[in-house]
């Protein structure tokens, strides 16, 4: 695994606004604290989300972009790429692969975080079809699309040189192999989640729910009592 001193830039790819903040916002905050620059790539605008039937559907996507931008700011991220693919209809098409590969070539990260392409039967809500589709497309964008100068020649024509991602982290994987202590970043993670007002208003105890998840992760990895952690499957892709 790369040490933090070897990572100057990271990119987090997600299917929907709020996916990052539920899964990795604490880790992102720790990386930002360590001097790593982080960018976000949102494959859809989450325009099929929300719980208010009277809210105009045409306004949901723009609202969720604003919420995600505010959430990113809460953990120190100001560079966001919105790809605008339709929420609920996402498939790992060549077009989606190309669009993610373009962002990888623009950002040029040493580390990329993506959703797991696999179904997690113990955490089925993390395995939304859009999440898995985004993970499949993002993994293909990492290897081979972004690094191959002959893949999607239009990207090279746009001035986006090929780029090899050294390390890829998967969220919600069935066999995580790495935990990040996010105890000191917990308040910022909760602040990021609360920015997604259209999505979290129905949670009566959001903080308690998240604390429970992160406590279980910390315990699974033998962290001291009272610590909080986010878990990932990390693999070399360089």
Spell out the domains of the chain, with CATH numbers in brackets: 4-236 (3.40.50.10320)
CA distance 224 to 71: 29
DSSP state of 144: I
What's the pLDDT tens digit per position in 194-217?
999 999 878 889 999 999 999 999
Average pLDDT over residues 111-128: 93
Contact yes or no for 97/141 (Cβ under 8 A): yes
Residue 31 pLDDT class (50, 70, 90 cuts): very high
At 138 the pLDDT is 98
Residue with tokens 């929420």: 87
The per-residue pLDDT of the chain, averaged, comes to 95
Average pLDDT over residues 223-230: 98
Neighbours of 198 (CB within 10 A): 19
Contact yes or no for 167/236 (Cβ under 8 A): yes
Residue 103 corresponds to which tokens in the numbers above? Answer: 């962002």
Q: Where are the alpha helices (DSSP H) in the chain?
A: 19-23, 25-33, 57-74, 94-107, 129-140, 153-157, 186-194, 197-200, 206-220
Q: Is 196 exposed, middle or buried (0-12, 13-18, 19+ CB in 10 A)?
A: buried
Contact yes or no for 134/15 (Cβ under 8 A): yes
Average pLDDT over residues 177-197: 97
Dump the DSSP string for 18-70. THHHHHTHHHHHHHHHTT-EEEEEEEE--TT--S-TTS-HHHHHHHHHHHHHH
Bridge partner residues of 40 (DSSP): 12, 80
CA distance 38 to 31: 8
At 1 the pLDDT is 85
Residue 48 pLDDT class (50, 70, 90 cuts): confident
The answer to which of 50-64, 110-124, 128-142, 186-200 has the lowest mean pLDDT is 50-64
């Amino acid at each position: 695994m790369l040490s933090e001193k070897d990572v100057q830039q990271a990119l987090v790819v997600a299917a929907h606004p709020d996916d990052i903040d539920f899964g990795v916002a604490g880790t992102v905050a720790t990386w930002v604290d360590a001097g790593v620059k982080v960018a976000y790539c949102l494959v859809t605008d989450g325009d099929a989300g929300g719980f208010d039937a009277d809210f105009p559907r045409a306004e949901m996507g723009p609202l969720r972009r604003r919420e995600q931008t505010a959430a990113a700011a809460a953990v120190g991220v100001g560079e966001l790429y919105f790809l605008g693919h339709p929420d609920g209809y996402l498939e790992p098409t060549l077009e989606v692969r190309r669009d993610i590969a373009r962002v990888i070539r623009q950002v040029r990260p040493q580390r990329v975080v993506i959703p797991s392409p696999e179904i997690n039967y113990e955490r089925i809500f993390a395995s939304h079809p859009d999440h898995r589709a985004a993970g499949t497309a993002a993994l293909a964008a990492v290897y081979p699309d972004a690094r191959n100068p002959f893949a999607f020649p239009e990207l090279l024509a746009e001035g986006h040189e090929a780029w090899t991602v050294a390390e890829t982290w998967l969220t919600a994987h069935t066999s995580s192999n790495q935990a990040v202590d996010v105890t000191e970043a917990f308040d910022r993670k909760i602040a990021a989640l609360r920015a997604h007002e259209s999505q979290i208003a129905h949670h009566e105890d959001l903080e308690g729910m998240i604390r429970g998840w992160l406590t279980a992760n910390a315990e699974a990895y033998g962290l001291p009592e009272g610590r909080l952690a986010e878990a990932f499957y990390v693999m070399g892709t360089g």
